[in-house]
Amino acid sequence: MAEPLLKVEHLQKSYGNKRVLEDISFEVDEGSVVVLLGPSGSGKSTLIRCLNGLEVFQSGSIVFNGETVQSSQKNWRRLRQQIGMVFQSYDLFPNMTVMENILLGPMKVQKRKKDEAARQALSLLKEVGMEQYAEAYPRELSGGQKQRVAIVRALELNPRLMLFDEVTASLDPEMVRGVLEIILRLAKENMTMIVVTHEMNFARQIGDKILFLEDGKILEQTPGSQFFARPQTDRAKKFLESMD
Work out how close the CB of 221 gets to ligand ADP at its nearest, in angstroms, rounded to a whole number. Answer: 16
How far, in Å, CA of 162 to CA of 152, rounded? 11
Task: Please choose which of Mg ion, ligand ADP, none residue 112 contacts, taking the beta carbon within 5 to 8 angstroms, the exact cut-off set by kind.
Answer: none
Part of the chain binding Mg ion (CB under 5 A), chosen from 44-52, 53-61, 73-81, 138-146: 44-52
- The DSSP-derived string for 64-115 is ETTEEE-TT-THHHHHHTTEEEE-SS----TTS-HHHHHHHHHHHTS---HH
How far, in Å, CA of 222 to CA of 213, rounded? 12
Task: Please choose which of Mg ion, ligand ADP, none residue 244 contacts, taking the beta carbon within 5 to 8 angstroms, the exact cut-off set by kind.
Answer: none
Name the residue type at position 41: G
Work out how close the CB of 165 gets to Mg ion at its nearest, in angstroms, rounded to a whole number. Answer: 6
Q: Under rule CB under 6 A, which residues in 120-149 are in contact with ligand ADP?
A: none
198 binds ligand ADP (CB under 6 A): no
101 binds Mg ion (CB under 5 A): no
How far, in Å, CA of 188 to CA of 105, rounded? 26
Taking the least distance from each CB to ligand ADP, the nearer of 44 and 146 is 44
242 binds ligand ADP (CB under 6 A): no
Contact pick of 1, 15, 139, 173 for ligand ADP (by CB under 6 A): 15
Part of the chain binding ligand ADP (CB under 6 A), chosen from 41-49, 111-119, 200-208, 230-238: 41-49
The backbone torsions φ and ψ at residue 239, rounded to the nearest 5 degrees and listed phi first, read -60, -45
What is the size of the binding site for Mg ion (CB under 5 A)?
2
Residue of 207, 244, 213 whose CA lies nearest to 227: 207
Contact pick of 32, 45, 97, 101 for Mg ion (by CB under 5 A): 45
203 binds ligand ADP (CB under 6 A): no
Contact pick of 3, 41, 109, 181 for ligand ADP (by CB under 6 A): 41
Around Cβ 18, how many Cβ atoms within 10 Å? 8
Contact pick of 42, 192, 197, 222 for ligand ADP (by CB under 6 A): 42
In this structure, what DSSP letter does residue 118 have? H
168 binds Mg ion (CB under 5 A): no
Work out how close the CB of 214 gets to ligand ADP at its nearest, in angstroms, rounded to a whole number. Answer: 9
How far, in Å, CA of 178 to CA of 148, rounded? 9
The backbone torsions φ and ψ at residue 86, rounded to the nearest 5 degrees and listed phi first, read -130, 130
User: Please, is 155 exposed, middle or buried when counting C-beta atoms within 10 Å of its C-beta (0-12, 13-18, 19+)?
Assistant: buried
Positions in the binding site for ligand ADP (CB under 6 A):
15, 20, 38, 40-46
Positions in the binding site for Mg ion (CB under 5 A):
44-45
